[in-house]
Structure 1
Amino acid sequence: MWIKKLQIAGLRCIKRAEFTFQPGMNLLVGINGMGKTTVLDALRVCLSKVLSEIENMPNQRVTLTPDDINLGFKATLLFCELEIYGRQFSYSFQRSPRYVNKSNESDLKNRISVVQYKDDLYPSLKEANFSADKKIPLAIYFSTRRAVIFERELTIAGRSVLSGRAAAYDRALAEKRESRLQPIAEWFKAQEALGQESPKALKHIEVIRSVVKQFLPEFGELQVAGNDRTPFFRITKDGASLRIPKLSDGQRGVLALVLDLARRLSQANPDLEDPVKEGEAVVLIDELDLHLHPKWQRSIVENLTRTFPNCQFIATTHSPQIIPAVEPEQVQLIKDNEIIRPDRTLGMDTNWILRNLMETDERPEGAAEAIRQVEDLITEGDYEIAREAMVNFRQDKGFDLPEWAMLEARIARLEMFDEE
């Protein structure tokens, strides 16, 4: 399953926009407030309808409220095209407020807003009659709260009792889903127990452990500790055994993402030899670069697409380290209600991305003006004053810029010519 196209009209800050997506990685780029997360929310609405027909879980539908309707529109409209098992499907959604009067009076205070929405998936997945032995597609949303780890469940009453394939869909598209590790640890222990009778169950666990190792190579093997009632994860580093909440925000965020995705792929596809490689999912990620060191930002796209080759990723990012990892057709810039496809991205350096795509000076604030002032002094022949200015900018402003060496060399050349 993968999303091919999304059209939006009248949703929050987005008046009208059309997005097209590729298999593999897709990046949504733009300054804050341009609507990147809104696009993910629109996709959540569309995908929740699909999941509700694949696995009958109507209570987990995602919808919109009247407050989501752009003030200049009477309704919010969504239209999505997607491909499932090689067949084309389309989904349309409309949310509108309808006003009715409590009495015959027409004044505003006597009007009640009655929220209306209608949607349609064509053709119906329920009527498609896909065979049960096919790979079951997933859709999963990772919000900016994915690094918030709950190691243990506080109460039994609120616990999910879903099992089997249904568990793979449980809260998969929830808006503010933290990472709850105890259900995953319980599932790990159950799979290890099943491994005595079903080698495939044990293999799934080993596949997931290897996935964690790929993303956190400096760590040892992921292990389940604790008793059957309250199991928890441990992982080793430099000989020390650590519980997951003790990891850094970036490490926790990456671990939560890949562990949850791999576990859900396994639950949805228990009969596959390697659900991580063979399983399919549309994965929505808000702020892909969240808490990641620049070195990890440079590798996260390749790691995700190589490890989960049949998954489609649609992610937002602000990172000039991530954008150069993808082809131009995989990037959509959101700017002033326009969707812009860049001409170049792959392999471009960070400064080029900042300057040309993100319209941000690659230097610290004020550094460009400092360079201009020194260049003006050199042009006027005030070489010593230019040298003093560079020293002051280094010491007082902390502008230790590579341009100073080039400007020093220019002054030396000009002084040599003047002596001649």
Structure 2
Amino acid sequence: MKIESLKIENVGGISSLTLDKFHPNLNIICGENGIGKTNILDSIAHCFSTFSNNIIRKKEGSKKGKVCISIDDVQHDEHTFDITSFKPRCNTGNLPYNKNLMSFHRNIENLIYFKTERLFSHKWIERLNIYDQKRDHLYNLDGVSIGLAKDWFIKNELLSSQKYTKDNDKNSIELAKKAFGLLNQSCTFSALRQDMEIYVNTPTGVIPYEYLSSGFKTCISIVWGIIREVQIRFPNIDVKDFKGVVLIDEIELHLHPEWQGKICNTLVTLFPEIQFFITTHSPHVVQTAEADQVIALSGQDGYLEKRTLDIAPNGFKGWTIEEILMDVMGMKDTRTEWFRNKQKEFNEALDLDNVLKANNIFKELKEKLHPNSTDLALFRFQLDMLNGRNK
């Protein structure tokens, strides 16, 4: 199952947005804060469930909102959902009954949604949750719960050595272990010990899983979350063969910039058949993408469009962070307000031939700019010119 196109009208802060020609594996949605990136994920999620508590609302002042989605499954389906009220009806968010909902309901198990809550606290495992009810993983698209991630790993690791355990389940736990090394080659799964703790080999020694950094655990929670959901929903398939859709909001949360540049490739490597839709504010995430994998949004008053990125026909792997911030993510200036003010004062001093003021400003710039800054070199050249004229 692949999503082909999406049209949103008057949902949340979005007045109008049409997106098509989605990439079959990875779609990175970026744009200025508040433009409506999360609204896009929520709208997709609502199209897959009549029972979600995840609330999308019509835009203030409009009579109704609409979400239209088309997918390429065995047949080409297109479904439209109207949002007419703010209050939930029959626990369906605020989507009123629509005959199309039931026909689209067959795809609900193919969608997995990760919201921004992806950290969890340490807990002792006194007993394992042995049975997972499939229905509990289908009708709540408000975000995958990671509260039982540790239970799930321990249970599957214990069962993996048993003869009666299916090959699919053994493959799942091996893939879960493999995630450690893909994110950081110096970290590997060590053992599950009698204290029911998961231990990991790291450069500083063997440590409990919960002692890993928040960024590492965030990545693991996504990987384990996908594997666990697929295992429960589709017990008879290998997780690598899952052909569903995964939504991830703000994928860079808690991640060091180095890992922000690794996480998307890691996910696509582990799950080659999944179609990912992720939102991000991170240029490091965009820097790993091909041209047709980036959806850069722009617009005003909720009327949004996908920006044309013809300047990067071969992707962004050779671009600098600053170039991505300005030409993809829409930042007008990557410098601080302090720098811009000092630059303006320095240029005014040059125009007025004010040698004393220009020299004083240059001293401040020299103290705070990077020693190899090209801007500092230009300031020095301009100052030398001014000093030469006034000898």
TMscore range, shorter length: 0.7 to 0.9
Separation in structure 2 between the aligned mates of residue 96 and residue 34 of structure 1, nearest angstrom: 22
Sequence identity (%): 20
Say whether the 8 Å CA contact 1:81–1:91 is kept in structure 2: yes
2:273 to 306, 310, 321: 310
Amino acid paired to 1:162: D
| Residue 320 (structure 1) aligned with residue 291 (structure 2) | no
Q: CA deviation at 1:160?
A: 8.4
Provide the secondary structure at the position in 2 that maps to 1:241. strand
Q: What is residue 371 of structure 1 aligned with on the other side? A: 343
| Cα distance change, pair 381–199 in 1 and its aligned pair in 2 (3 A) | same
1:412 to 374, 377, 384: 384
Provide the secondary structure at the position in 1 that maps to 2:253. coil
| Cα distance change, pair 319–335 in 1 and its aligned pair in 2 (3 A) | farther
Q: CA deviation at 1:383?
A: 4.3
Amino acid paired to 1:335: G
Q: CA deviation at 1:81?
A: 0.7
| Residue 340 (structure 1) aligned with residue 318 (structure 2) | no
| Cα distance change, pair 144–386 in 1 and its aligned pair in 2 (3 A) | same
Q: What is residue 83 of structure 2 aligned with on the other side? A: 95
1:78-118 CA distances to partner (integer Å, 9 max, x unpaired)?
Answer: 2111122x43222222232499xxxxxxxxxxxxxxx7702
Q: CA deviation at 1:268?
A: 4.5
Please list, as runs of the form range in 1=range in 2, the aligned pairs for 1:177-188 lying within 5 A after superposition: 177-188=145-156
1:347-385 CA distances to partner (integer Å, 9 max, x unpaired)?
Answer: 332212222332242112221221232233334444453
Gap runs ≥5 in structure 1: 50-60, 100-114, 129-135
Say whether the 8 Å CA contact 1:139–1:172 is kept in structure 2: no
| Residue 25 (structure 1) aligned with residue 26 (structure 2) | yes
Say whether the 8 Å CA contact 1:287–1:317 is kept in structure 2: yes
Q: CA deviation at 1:182?
A: 3.4
Q: What is residue 207 of structure 1 aligned with on the other side? A: 175
Please list, as runs of the form range in 1=range in 2, the aligned pairs for 1:267-416 lying within 5 A after superposition: 267-272=232-237, 275-276=239-240, 278-329=241-292, 330-336=294-300, 337=302, 338-343=304-309, 344=311, 346=316, 347-356=318-327, 357-395=329-367, 398-400=368-370, 402=373, 403-412=375-384
Separation in structure 2 between the aligned mates of residue 48 and residue 152 of structure 1, nearest angstrom: 34
Q: What is residue 118 of structure 1 aligned with on the other side? A: 97
Q: CA deviation at 1:334?
A: 4.4
1:226-271 CA distances to partner (integer Å, 9 max, x unpaired)?
Answer: 46xxx44222213533333322221111111112213333445555
Q: What is residue 52 of structure 1 aligned with on the other side? A: none
| Cα distance change, pair 177–122 in 1 and its aligned pair in 2 (3 A) | closer
Q: CA deviation at 1:183?
A: 3.2
Q: CA deviation at 1:317?
A: 0.9
Say whether the 8 Å CA contact 1:225–1:233 is kept in structure 2: yes
Provide the secondary structure at the position in 1 that maps to 2:4. strand
Provide the secondary structure at the position in 2 that maps to 1:370. helix
Q: What is residue 69 of structure 2 aligned with on the other side? A: 80
Q: CA deviation at 1:302?
A: 2.1
1:306-353 CA distances to partner (integer Å, 9 max, x unpaired)?
Answer: 232111111111112222322343313143221232424523322122
| Cα distance change, pair 309–176 in 1 and its aligned pair in 2 (3 A) | closer
Separation in structure 1 between the aligned mates of residue 232 and residue 190 of structure 2, nearest angstrom: 19
Separation in structure 1 between the aligned mates of residue 126 and residue 43 of structure 2, nearest angstrom: 32
RMSD: 3.5
Separation in structure 2 between the aligned mates of residue 126 and residue 171 of structure 1, nearest angstrom: 10
Amino acid paired to 1:202: K
Provide the secondary structure at the position in 2 that maps to 1:412. helix
Say whether the 8 Å CA contact 1:286–1:315 is kept in structure 2: yes
Q: CA deviation at 1:209?
A: 1.3
Q: CA deviation at 1:416?
A: 5.9
Q: TM-score, normalised by structure 1?
A: 0.76
Moved more, 307-316 or 334-343: 334-343
Amino acid paired to 2:307: R
Q: Which has a greater percent of strand?
A: 1
Q: TM-score, normalised by structure 2?
A: 0.81
Amino acid paired to 2:342: A
| Cα distance change, pair 127–315 in 1 and its aligned pair in 2 (3 A) | closer
Say whether the 8 Å CA contact 1:209–1:222 is kept in structure 2: no
Q: What is residue 60 of structure 2 aligned with on the other side? A: 71
Q: CA deviation at 1:29?
A: 1.7
1:14-62 CA distances to partner (integer Å, 9 max, x unpaired)?
Answer: 222222322122122223322211111111111235xxxxxxxxxxx21
Say whether the 8 Å CA contact 1:13–1:70 is kept in structure 2: yes
Separation in structure 1 between the aligned mates of residue 265 and residue 185 of structure 2, nearest angstrom: 15
Q: What is residue 145 of structure 1 aligned with on the other side? A: 117
